[in-house]
Amino acid sequence: MADNGTGSAVRGEAGPVLSVAGLSKSYSDVAAVEGVSFEVHCREVVGLLGPNGAGKTTTINMILGVLSPTAGSVLIGGIDLARQRSHALAHANFSAVYAPLPGNLTVAQNLRFFGLVYGIPALARRVGELLRQFDLERLRDTKCGLLSSGEQTRVALAKAVLNRPRLLLLDEPTASLDPAAAQTIRARIRNLALDTGCGILWTSHNMYEVEEVCDRVLFLSHGRILLEGDPRRLPGEHGAATLEELFIRLAREPLAEPLQRAG
pLDDT digits (tens, 9 = 90+) for 141-181: 999 999 998 899 999 999 999 999 999 999 888 887 888 88
Average pLDDT estimate for 1-6 = 40
Write the pLDDT tens digit of every residue in 213-225: 999 999 999 899 9
Fold classification of 1-91+165-263 is Rossmann fold (3.40.50)
Query: In angstroms, rounded to a whole number, what is the distance separating the alpha carbons of residues 165 and 76?
Result: 10
Task: State the pLDDT confidence band at 256, using cuts at 50, 70 and 90.
Answer: very low
- pLDDT tier at 253 (50, 70, 90 boundaries)? low
Q: Where are the beta strands (DSSP E) in 68-157?
A: 71-76, 79-80, 92-96
Residue 113 has a pLDDT of 97
Cα 75-45-84 angle, rounded to 5 deg? 15
Contacts of 134 (CB under 8 A, 6+ apart): 154, 155, 157, 158, 188
Q: What is the mean pLDDT of residues 198-227?
A: 93
What is the pTM assigned to this prediction? 0.87
- Beta strand pairing status for 71-76 and 79-80? antiparallel
pLDDT digits (tens, 9 = 90+) for 93-107: 999 877 889 999 999
Length of the chain: 263
Residue of 210, 140, 219 lying closest to 174 (CA atoms)? 210
Taking 50 as the threshold, does the pLDDT of residue 7 lie above it?
A: no
The 10s digit of each residue's pLDDT in 55-72 is 998 999 999 999 999 999
